[in-house]
Amino acid sequence: MNDIIVGAGVSGLSYAWFSNNDYTVLESTDSIGGYCKTTKKNGFVWDYSGHFFHFQDKEIEEMIMRDISEEDLVEPVKNTKIKYKDLLVEYPFQKNIHQLSKEELIECLYDLFNNSQTEYSNFKEMLYCKFGAAIAEKFLIPYNTKLYACDLNRLDKDAMGRFFPYAEKEEIIKNFKSENNNSYNATFVYPKQGAFEYVKSIVANLDESKIRLNSAVVAIDIKNRNVTTKDGQTMHYDRLVSTLPFPKLLDLCGIEYDKRVYSWNQVLVFNIGFDCKGPVTEPHWIYFPEGKYVFYRVGFYDNILSQDRTSVYVEIGFSGNENIDPDKYYDRVLEDMLAAGLISKNQKVVDHESVIMNPAYVHITEKSIVDVKNKKDSLAHYGVYSIGRYGSWTYCSIEDNIKEARELANRLNR
Ligand SMILES: Cc1cc2nc3c(=O)[nH]c(=O)nc-3n(C[C@H](O)[C@H](O)[C@H](O)COP(=O)(O)OP(=O)(O)OC[C@H]3O[C@@H](n4cnc5c(N)ncnc54)[C@H](O)[C@@H]3O)c2cc1C
Protein backbone atom coordinates (compact mmCIF):
# COMPACT_ATOMS: atom_id res chain seq x y z
CA MET A 1 0.00 0.00 0.00
CA ASN A 2 1.22 3.43 -0.88
CA ASP A 3 -0.24 6.25 1.22
CA ILE A 4 0.10 9.90 0.33
CA ILE A 5 -0.22 12.20 3.31
CA VAL A 6 -1.01 15.85 2.62
CA GLY A 7 0.43 18.20 5.24
CA ALA A 8 3.38 17.77 7.62
CA GLY A 9 1.64 19.18 10.72
CA VAL A 10 1.08 17.11 13.85
CA SER A 11 -1.79 15.15 12.24
CA GLY A 12 0.00 14.20 9.03
CA LEU A 13 3.25 13.28 10.80
CA SER A 14 1.36 11.27 13.44
CA TYR A 15 -0.47 9.31 10.79
CA ALA A 16 2.88 8.45 9.17
CA TRP A 17 4.16 7.38 12.60
CA PHE A 18 1.33 4.92 13.28
CA SER A 19 0.86 3.61 9.76
CA ASN A 20 2.35 0.28 8.65
CA ASN A 21 2.31 1.33 5.02
CA ASP A 22 4.77 2.99 2.77
CA TYR A 23 4.08 6.72 2.65
CA THR A 24 5.08 10.05 1.17
CA VAL A 25 4.26 13.27 3.02
CA LEU A 26 3.65 16.29 0.81
CA GLU A 27 4.03 19.64 2.58
CA SER A 28 3.42 22.99 0.90
CA THR A 29 5.79 25.09 3.05
CA ASP A 30 9.53 24.78 3.58
CA SER A 31 9.27 23.24 7.07
CA ILE A 32 7.40 20.63 9.08
CA GLY A 33 5.18 21.25 12.12
CA GLY A 34 2.17 23.11 10.69
CA TYR A 35 0.81 25.32 13.48
CA CYS A 36 3.04 23.64 16.04
CA LYS A 37 6.17 25.61 15.22
CA THR A 38 8.62 27.50 17.43
CA THR A 39 10.83 30.46 16.59
CA LYS A 40 13.83 31.56 18.63
CA LYS A 41 15.01 35.17 18.52
CA ASN A 42 17.35 37.09 20.81
CA GLY A 43 16.95 34.51 23.56
CA PHE A 44 13.13 34.48 23.31
CA VAL A 45 11.31 31.22 22.54
CA TRP A 46 7.98 31.75 20.77
CA ASP A 47 5.39 29.45 19.26
CA TYR A 48 3.04 30.32 16.45
CA SER A 49 0.71 31.06 19.32
CA GLY A 50 0.71 29.81 22.90
CA HIS A 51 0.67 26.03 22.62
CA PHE A 52 0.25 24.28 25.95
CA PHE A 53 -0.41 20.66 26.62
CA HIS A 54 -2.52 18.54 28.87
CA PHE A 55 -2.06 14.91 27.96
CA GLN A 56 -4.89 12.57 28.84
CA ASP A 57 -3.74 9.51 26.93
CA LYS A 58 -0.87 7.71 28.70
CA GLU A 59 0.39 5.92 25.58
CA ILE A 60 0.65 9.18 23.64
CA GLU A 61 2.27 10.99 26.56
CA GLU A 62 4.92 8.28 26.94
CA MET A 63 5.66 8.18 23.22
CA ILE A 64 5.98 11.95 22.95
CA MET A 65 7.98 12.33 26.15
CA ARG A 66 10.38 9.44 25.51
CA ASP A 67 13.26 11.69 24.45
CA ILE A 68 12.32 14.80 26.46
CA SER A 69 13.77 14.88 29.96
CA GLU A 70 11.93 16.41 32.92
CA GLU A 71 14.49 19.22 33.19
CA ASP A 72 13.48 20.31 29.70
CA LEU A 73 9.85 20.84 30.74
CA VAL A 74 7.85 23.08 33.01
CA GLU A 75 4.53 21.98 34.52
CA PRO A 76 2.84 24.94 36.19
CA VAL A 77 -0.58 25.03 37.83
CA LYS A 78 -2.60 27.15 35.46
CA ASN A 79 -2.92 30.80 36.51
CA THR A 80 -5.31 32.60 34.17
CA LYS A 81 -7.19 35.85 34.63
CA ILE A 82 -9.79 38.02 32.96
CA LYS A 83 -9.29 41.75 32.72
CA TYR A 84 -12.77 42.95 33.61
CA LYS A 85 -13.01 46.74 34.00
CA ASP A 86 -10.37 47.53 36.66
CA LEU A 87 -10.33 44.02 38.09
CA LEU A 88 -8.38 40.87 37.36
CA VAL A 89 -11.01 38.17 37.84
CA GLU A 90 -10.03 34.53 37.86
CA TYR A 91 -10.98 32.36 34.89
CA PRO A 92 -13.57 30.97 34.27
CA PHE A 93 -15.70 34.08 34.75
CA GLN A 94 -18.91 32.18 35.49
CA LYS A 95 -17.32 30.47 38.52
CA ASN A 96 -15.77 33.66 39.89
CA ILE A 97 -18.57 36.20 39.89
CA HIS A 98 -17.98 36.63 43.65
CA GLN A 99 -14.82 38.55 42.67
CA LEU A 100 -16.97 41.26 41.02
CA SER A 101 -18.43 44.27 42.87
CA LYS A 102 -21.42 43.51 45.12
CA GLU A 103 -23.85 45.16 42.63
CA GLU A 104 -22.55 43.11 39.71
CA LEU A 105 -22.54 39.90 41.74
CA ILE A 106 -26.21 40.47 42.63
CA GLU A 107 -27.01 41.14 38.98
CA CYS A 108 -25.27 37.92 37.89
CA LEU A 109 -26.95 35.85 40.60
CA TYR A 110 -30.36 37.33 39.90
CA ASP A 111 -30.13 36.50 36.21
CA LEU A 112 -28.62 33.08 36.88
CA PHE A 113 -31.58 32.07 39.05
CA ASN A 114 -34.35 34.03 37.29
CA ASN A 115 -33.86 32.67 33.84
CA SER A 116 -36.96 31.47 32.04
CA GLN A 117 -35.04 30.27 28.97
CA THR A 118 -34.78 26.50 29.13
CA GLU A 119 -34.21 25.56 25.51
CA TYR A 120 -31.46 26.57 23.15
CA SER A 121 -30.46 25.79 19.61
CA ASN A 122 -27.17 27.65 19.14
CA PHE A 123 -24.09 28.74 21.09
CA LYS A 124 -25.36 32.20 21.99
CA GLU A 125 -28.70 30.87 23.25
CA MET A 126 -26.83 28.22 25.24
CA LEU A 127 -24.86 30.97 27.03
CA TYR A 128 -28.04 32.86 27.96
CA CYS A 129 -29.84 29.69 28.97
CA LYS A 130 -27.09 28.18 31.15
CA PHE A 131 -25.75 31.35 32.77
CA GLY A 132 -28.40 34.09 32.51
CA ALA A 133 -28.10 37.46 30.77
CA ALA A 134 -25.61 39.17 33.10
CA ILE A 135 -22.84 36.54 33.00
CA ALA A 136 -23.42 36.05 29.28
CA GLU A 137 -23.28 39.76 28.45
CA LYS A 138 -20.45 40.76 30.80
CA PHE A 139 -17.97 38.14 29.60
CA LEU A 140 -19.06 35.08 27.63
CA ILE A 141 -20.61 36.88 24.65
CA PRO A 142 -18.15 39.78 24.20
CA TYR A 143 -15.11 37.55 24.69
CA ASN A 144 -16.21 34.79 22.33
CA THR A 145 -17.44 37.30 19.73
CA LYS A 146 -13.96 38.88 19.74
CA LEU A 147 -12.37 35.46 19.39
CA TYR A 148 -14.64 33.90 16.76
CA ALA A 149 -15.25 37.20 14.91
CA CYS A 150 -18.84 36.22 14.12
CA ASP A 151 -22.30 36.40 15.65
CA LEU A 152 -22.36 33.57 18.15
CA ASN A 153 -25.83 32.50 17.07
CA ARG A 154 -24.12 31.05 13.97
CA LEU A 155 -22.26 28.49 16.06
CA ASP A 156 -23.51 25.09 17.13
CA LYS A 157 -24.62 24.89 20.76
CA ASP A 158 -21.67 22.61 21.51
CA ALA A 159 -19.17 24.45 19.29
CA MET A 160 -16.38 24.37 21.88
CA GLY A 161 -16.96 20.80 23.11
CA ARG A 162 -14.96 19.93 26.21
CA PHE A 163 -13.01 23.18 25.90
CA PHE A 164 -15.97 25.14 27.22
CA PRO A 165 -15.91 25.40 31.03
CA TYR A 166 -19.51 24.54 31.91
CA ALA A 167 -20.56 25.15 35.51
CA GLU A 168 -23.77 24.22 37.29
CA LYS A 169 -25.40 26.76 39.62
CA GLU A 170 -24.38 24.70 42.66
CA GLU A 171 -20.75 24.70 41.55
CA ILE A 172 -20.80 28.46 41.03
CA ILE A 173 -22.08 29.03 44.55
CA LYS A 174 -19.70 26.46 46.06
CA ASN A 175 -16.78 28.21 44.37
CA PHE A 176 -17.53 31.38 46.39
CA LYS A 177 -15.87 29.71 49.38
CA SER A 178 -13.87 26.68 48.22
CA GLU A 179 -12.26 27.46 44.93
CA ASN A 180 -12.10 24.85 42.23
CA ASN A 181 -11.52 26.58 38.93
CA ASN A 182 -10.49 23.43 37.14
CA SER A 183 -11.49 23.44 33.55
CA TYR A 184 -10.26 20.81 31.07
CA ASN A 185 -6.63 21.40 32.10
CA ALA A 186 -5.72 22.40 35.67
CA THR A 187 -2.00 22.08 34.97
CA PHE A 188 -0.17 22.04 31.68
CA VAL A 189 3.22 20.98 30.43
CA TYR A 190 5.40 23.02 28.17
CA PRO A 191 8.87 22.31 26.77
CA LYS A 192 11.34 25.08 27.65
CA GLN A 193 12.47 25.06 24.02
CA GLY A 194 8.92 25.48 22.69
CA ALA A 195 6.12 23.35 21.29
CA PHE A 196 8.16 22.23 18.28
CA GLU A 197 9.98 19.80 20.63
CA TYR A 198 6.88 17.61 20.40
CA VAL A 199 7.02 17.62 16.63
CA LYS A 200 10.67 16.57 16.92
CA SER A 201 9.58 13.61 19.08
CA ILE A 202 7.12 12.49 16.41
CA VAL A 203 9.43 12.96 13.45
CA ALA A 204 12.23 11.04 15.20
CA ASN A 205 10.18 7.90 14.43
CA LEU A 206 9.87 8.67 10.72
CA ASP A 207 12.01 8.32 7.64
CA GLU A 208 12.52 12.01 6.87
CA SER A 209 13.45 11.28 3.26
CA LYS A 210 9.76 10.49 2.76
CA ILE A 211 8.74 14.05 3.65
CA ARG A 212 8.75 16.38 0.64
CA LEU A 213 8.78 20.06 1.51
CA ASN A 214 7.72 22.86 -0.88
CA SER A 215 5.35 20.37 -2.50
CA ALA A 216 1.91 21.95 -2.36
CA VAL A 217 -0.85 19.68 -3.64
CA VAL A 218 -2.81 21.58 -6.29
CA ALA A 219 -5.18 18.90 -7.63
CA ILE A 220 -6.55 15.52 -6.59
CA ASP A 221 -8.06 13.10 -9.09
CA ILE A 222 -10.11 10.88 -6.81
CA LYS A 223 -11.27 8.50 -9.58
CA ASN A 224 -7.76 7.62 -10.79
CA ARG A 225 -6.15 8.16 -7.36
CA ASN A 226 -3.57 10.70 -8.47
CA VAL A 227 -2.34 13.91 -6.83
CA THR A 228 -0.58 16.74 -8.63
CA THR A 229 1.86 19.04 -6.88
CA LYS A 230 2.59 22.65 -7.76
CA ASP A 231 5.72 21.70 -9.74
CA GLY A 232 3.49 19.68 -12.07
CA GLN A 233 4.44 16.25 -10.74
CA THR A 234 1.66 13.64 -10.61
CA MET A 235 1.82 10.80 -8.11
CA HIS A 236 -0.41 7.75 -7.76
CA TYR A 237 -1.71 6.67 -4.33
CA ASP A 238 -3.68 3.77 -2.93
CA ARG A 239 -4.90 5.96 -0.08
CA LEU A 240 -4.73 9.66 0.49
CA VAL A 241 -4.73 11.06 4.02
CA SER A 242 -5.39 14.79 3.95
CA THR A 243 -4.92 17.29 6.76
CA LEU A 244 -5.89 20.26 4.58
CA PRO A 245 -8.75 22.49 5.70
CA PHE A 246 -11.80 20.45 4.68
CA PRO A 247 -13.29 22.93 2.15
CA LYS A 248 -9.86 23.20 0.50
CA LEU A 249 -9.77 19.40 0.13
CA LEU A 250 -13.22 19.52 -1.50
CA ASP A 251 -11.98 22.22 -3.89
CA LEU A 252 -8.90 20.21 -4.86
CA CYS A 253 -11.00 17.09 -5.41
CA GLY A 254 -13.46 19.06 -7.56
CA ILE A 255 -16.36 18.25 -5.24
CA GLU A 256 -19.22 20.74 -5.21
CA TYR A 257 -20.47 22.02 -1.87
CA ASP A 258 -22.38 24.90 -0.36
CA LYS A 259 -19.68 27.47 0.45
CA ARG A 260 -21.92 29.13 3.06
CA VAL A 261 -21.53 26.05 5.28
CA TYR A 262 -17.86 26.75 5.94
CA SER A 263 -16.63 29.82 7.80
CA TRP A 264 -13.82 30.38 10.27
CA ASN A 265 -11.78 33.02 12.02
CA GLN A 266 -8.16 34.03 11.58
CA VAL A 267 -5.87 34.89 14.45
CA LEU A 268 -3.14 37.48 14.12
CA VAL A 269 -0.45 36.69 16.67
CA PHE A 270 2.26 39.09 17.80
CA ASN A 271 5.16 37.61 19.72
CA ILE A 272 6.95 40.44 21.50
CA GLY A 273 10.04 40.37 23.72
CA PHE A 274 11.06 43.24 26.04
CA ASP A 275 14.34 44.20 27.70
CA CYS A 276 13.17 43.65 31.29
CA LYS A 277 10.36 42.23 33.38
CA GLY A 278 7.07 44.13 33.44
CA PRO A 279 4.27 44.60 35.96
CA VAL A 280 2.53 41.25 35.24
CA THR A 281 4.53 38.71 37.20
CA GLU A 282 2.17 35.77 37.76
CA PRO A 283 -0.65 35.09 35.27
CA HIS A 284 0.16 32.74 32.39
CA TRP A 285 -2.42 34.38 30.21
CA ILE A 286 -5.15 37.02 30.51
CA TYR A 287 -8.47 37.25 28.62
CA PHE A 288 -9.77 40.61 27.38
CA PRO A 289 -13.53 40.75 26.69
CA GLU A 290 -13.72 44.53 26.33
CA GLY A 291 -13.76 46.06 22.85
CA LYS A 292 -11.44 48.86 23.91
CA TYR A 293 -8.54 46.40 23.78
CA VAL A 294 -7.73 45.16 20.29
CA PHE A 295 -6.61 41.72 21.54
CA TYR A 296 -8.72 39.00 23.10
CA ARG A 297 -5.87 37.25 24.91
CA VAL A 298 -2.29 37.95 25.95
CA GLY A 299 -0.02 35.18 27.24
CA PHE A 300 3.20 35.55 29.21
CA TYR A 301 5.97 33.11 28.29
CA ASP A 302 8.15 34.81 30.91
CA ASN A 303 5.76 33.78 33.69
CA ILE A 304 5.43 30.25 32.34
CA LEU A 305 9.18 29.79 31.93
CA SER A 306 10.30 31.96 34.92
CA GLN A 307 12.23 34.37 32.69
CA ASP A 308 13.43 37.83 33.68
CA ARG A 309 12.28 39.67 30.52
CA THR A 310 8.63 40.09 29.47
CA SER A 311 7.92 37.77 26.53
CA VAL A 312 4.34 37.72 25.30
CA TYR A 313 2.04 36.36 22.65
CA VAL A 314 -0.85 38.64 21.76
CA GLU A 315 -3.87 37.25 19.87
CA ILE A 316 -6.35 39.24 17.76
CA GLY A 317 -9.37 37.63 16.07
CA PHE A 318 -10.56 38.42 12.53
CA SER A 319 -13.17 36.92 10.28
CA GLY A 320 -11.93 34.40 7.73
CA ASN A 321 -12.27 36.65 4.71
CA GLU A 322 -10.48 39.73 6.05
CA ASN A 323 -7.21 40.89 4.51
CA ILE A 324 -4.89 41.41 7.46
CA ASP A 325 -1.96 43.81 7.41
CA PRO A 326 -0.07 43.10 10.69
CA ASP A 327 1.80 46.44 10.49
CA LYS A 328 -1.48 48.25 11.00
CA TYR A 329 -1.96 46.64 14.41
CA TYR A 330 1.48 46.59 16.03
CA ASP A 331 1.46 50.12 17.51
CA ARG A 332 -2.11 49.67 18.70
CA VAL A 333 -1.11 46.45 20.46
CA LEU A 334 1.65 48.22 22.40
CA GLU A 335 -0.67 51.13 23.26
CA ASP A 336 -3.37 48.77 24.51
CA MET A 337 -0.85 46.73 26.50
CA LEU A 338 0.28 49.90 28.21
CA ALA A 339 -3.31 51.01 28.86
CA ALA A 340 -4.15 47.60 30.33
CA GLY A 341 -1.12 47.74 32.65
CA LEU A 342 0.60 44.78 30.97
CA ILE A 343 3.82 46.69 30.30
CA SER A 344 5.36 49.84 31.73
CA LYS A 345 6.68 52.88 29.87
CA ASN A 346 10.32 52.11 30.66
CA GLN A 347 10.21 48.70 28.93
CA LYS A 348 11.77 48.58 25.46
CA VAL A 349 10.96 46.06 22.76
CA VAL A 350 13.97 43.88 21.91
CA ASP A 351 12.37 41.83 19.15
CA HIS A 352 9.00 40.95 17.72
CA GLU A 353 7.32 38.97 14.96
CA SER A 354 3.81 38.37 13.67
CA VAL A 355 2.06 35.25 12.43
CA ILE A 356 -1.35 34.93 10.76
CA MET A 357 -3.16 31.68 11.52
CA ASN A 358 -5.72 31.18 8.77
CA PRO A 359 -7.89 29.27 9.55
CA ALA A 360 -7.48 29.37 13.34
CA TYR A 361 -10.86 28.52 14.94
CA VAL A 362 -13.39 27.01 12.56
CA HIS A 363 -17.05 27.90 13.01
CA ILE A 364 -18.66 24.62 14.00
CA THR A 365 -22.29 24.83 12.99
CA GLU A 366 -25.13 22.31 12.78
CA LYS A 367 -24.71 22.29 9.01
CA SER A 368 -20.93 21.94 9.02
CA ILE A 369 -21.14 18.92 11.35
CA VAL A 370 -23.52 17.11 8.99
CA ASP A 371 -21.75 18.17 5.78
CA VAL A 372 -18.27 17.15 6.99
CA LYS A 373 -19.54 13.75 8.11
CA ASN A 374 -21.41 12.99 4.88
CA LYS A 375 -18.63 14.15 2.60
CA LYS A 376 -15.95 12.33 4.62
CA ASP A 377 -17.98 9.12 4.31
CA SER A 378 -18.24 9.50 0.52
CA LEU A 379 -14.55 10.38 0.12
CA ALA A 380 -13.60 7.22 2.03
CA HIS A 381 -15.11 5.17 -0.84
CA TYR A 382 -12.39 6.68 -3.04
CA GLY A 383 -9.61 5.99 -0.52
CA VAL A 384 -9.49 9.62 0.65
CA TYR A 385 -9.44 10.27 4.41
CA SER A 386 -9.52 13.70 6.02
CA ILE A 387 -8.14 14.22 9.54
CA GLY A 388 -6.76 16.97 11.78
CA ARG A 389 -8.07 20.13 13.36
CA TYR A 390 -8.91 21.54 9.94
CA GLY A 391 -9.37 18.28 8.06
CA SER A 392 -12.10 17.28 10.52
CA TRP A 393 -13.25 20.92 10.79
CA THR A 394 -13.29 20.85 14.56
CA TYR A 395 -11.98 22.35 17.82
CA CYS A 396 -9.28 20.15 19.29
CA SER A 397 -5.82 19.90 20.80
CA ILE A 398 -2.64 18.41 19.48
CA GLU A 399 -3.23 15.32 21.56
CA ASP A 400 -6.62 14.91 19.87
CA ASN A 401 -4.85 15.18 16.49
CA ILE A 402 -2.44 12.39 17.45
CA LYS A 403 -5.32 10.22 18.71
CA GLU A 404 -7.35 10.72 15.54
CA ALA A 405 -4.31 9.90 13.37
CA ARG A 406 -3.65 6.77 15.46
CA GLU A 407 -7.27 5.62 15.14
CA LEU A 408 -7.26 6.04 11.37
CA ALA A 409 -3.87 4.32 10.99
CA ASN A 410 -4.98 1.40 13.19
CA ARG A 411 -8.20 1.04 11.20
CA LEU A 412 -6.40 1.14 7.86
CA ASN A 413 -3.56 -1.12 9.09
CA ARG A 414 -6.18 -3.83 9.66
C1 LIG B 1 -4.56 30.16 18.37
C2 LIG B 1 -4.39 28.67 18.58
C3 LIG B 1 -3.91 28.19 19.79
C4 LIG B 1 -3.76 26.82 20.00
N5 LIG B 1 -3.30 26.38 21.21
C6 LIG B 1 -3.15 25.05 21.43
C7 LIG B 1 -2.67 24.56 22.68
O8 LIG B 1 -2.37 25.35 23.59
N9 LIG B 1 -2.55 23.21 22.84
C10 LIG B 1 -2.86 22.31 21.86
O11 LIG B 1 -2.72 21.11 22.07
N12 LIG B 1 -3.34 22.75 20.66
C13 LIG B 1 -3.49 24.08 20.43
N14 LIG B 1 -3.97 24.53 19.22
C15 LIG B 1 -4.37 23.53 18.21
C16 LIG B 1 -3.19 22.99 17.40
O17 LIG B 1 -2.45 24.06 16.84
C18 LIG B 1 -3.73 22.14 16.26
O19 LIG B 1 -4.62 21.18 16.77
C20 LIG B 1 -2.63 21.42 15.48
O21 LIG B 1 -1.48 22.20 15.29
C22 LIG B 1 -3.24 21.04 14.14
O23 LIG B 1 -2.37 20.19 13.44
P24 LIG B 1 -2.80 19.62 12.04
O25 LIG B 1 -1.67 18.79 11.55
O26 LIG B 1 -4.15 19.00 12.11
O27 LIG B 1 -2.98 20.93 11.10
P28 LIG B 1 -1.85 22.01 10.63
O29 LIG B 1 -0.90 22.30 11.71
O30 LIG B 1 -2.67 23.10 10.05
O31 LIG B 1 -1.08 21.23 9.48
C32 LIG B 1 -1.53 21.17 8.15
C33 LIG B 1 -0.32 21.19 7.24
O34 LIG B 1 -0.77 21.11 5.87
C35 LIG B 1 0.04 21.97 5.08
N36 LIG B 1 -0.66 22.30 3.84
C37 LIG B 1 -1.65 23.21 3.67
N38 LIG B 1 -2.03 23.24 2.37
C39 LIG B 1 -1.28 22.31 1.72
C40 LIG B 1 -1.22 21.84 0.37
N41 LIG B 1 -2.02 22.34 -0.60
N42 LIG B 1 -0.34 20.86 0.06
C43 LIG B 1 0.48 20.34 1.01
N44 LIG B 1 0.46 20.74 2.30
C45 LIG B 1 -0.41 21.70 2.65
C46 LIG B 1 0.27 23.16 6.00
O47 LIG B 1 1.38 23.93 5.58
C48 LIG B 1 0.51 22.48 7.35
O49 LIG B 1 1.87 22.16 7.54
C50 LIG B 1 -4.11 25.90 18.97
C51 LIG B 1 -4.58 26.38 17.74
C52 LIG B 1 -4.72 27.75 17.55
C53 LIG B 1 -5.25 28.24 16.23
pLDDT value, residue 180: 66
Assess if residue 50 is contained within a domain: no
pLDDT value, residue 185: 64
**Boundary residue ending a domain (320, 337, 357):** 357
pLDDT tens digits for 240-278?
Answer: 999 999 999 999 999 999 999 999 999 999 999 999 999
Across residues 364-386, what is the average pLDDT?
A: 97
pLDDT value, residue 184: 52
Q: How far is the CA of 170 from the centre of ligand 1 (A)?
A: 37
Q: Closest residue (by CA) to atom 50 of ligand 1?
A: 51
Assess if residue 188 is contained within a domain: no
Across residues 387-413, what is the average pLDDT?
A: 97
Across residues 385-399, what is the average pLDDT?
A: 97
Same domain, 371 and 349: no
Q: How far is the CA of 18 from the centre of ligand 1 (A)?
A: 19
Across residues 395-406, what is the average pLDDT?
A: 96
* Percent over 70 (pLDDT), the chain: 98
Same domain, 247 and 272: no
Q: How far is the CA of 232 from the centre of ligand 1 (A)?
A: 26
Assess if residue 53 is contained within a domain: no
Q: How far is the CA of 359 from the centre of ligand 1 (A)?
A: 9
252 lines ligand 1 (CB under 6 A): no
> Can you tell me which atom of ligand 1 is nearest the CA of 36?
21
Q: How far is the CA of 358 from the centre of ligand 1 (A)?
A: 10
Assess if residue 373 is contained within a domain: yes
Overall pTM surpassing 0.85 (yes/no):
yes
Does position 183 have pLDDT exceeding 60, yes or no?
Answer: no
Pocket test for ligand 1, best of 163, 206, 243 (most atoms within 8 A of CB): 243
Q: Closest residue (by CA) to atom 40 of ligand 1?
A: 216
**Boundary residue ending a domain (311, 340, 357):** 357
Report the alpha-carbon distance of residue 366 to residue 391 in Å, rounded: 17
Say how many domains are in the chain.
3
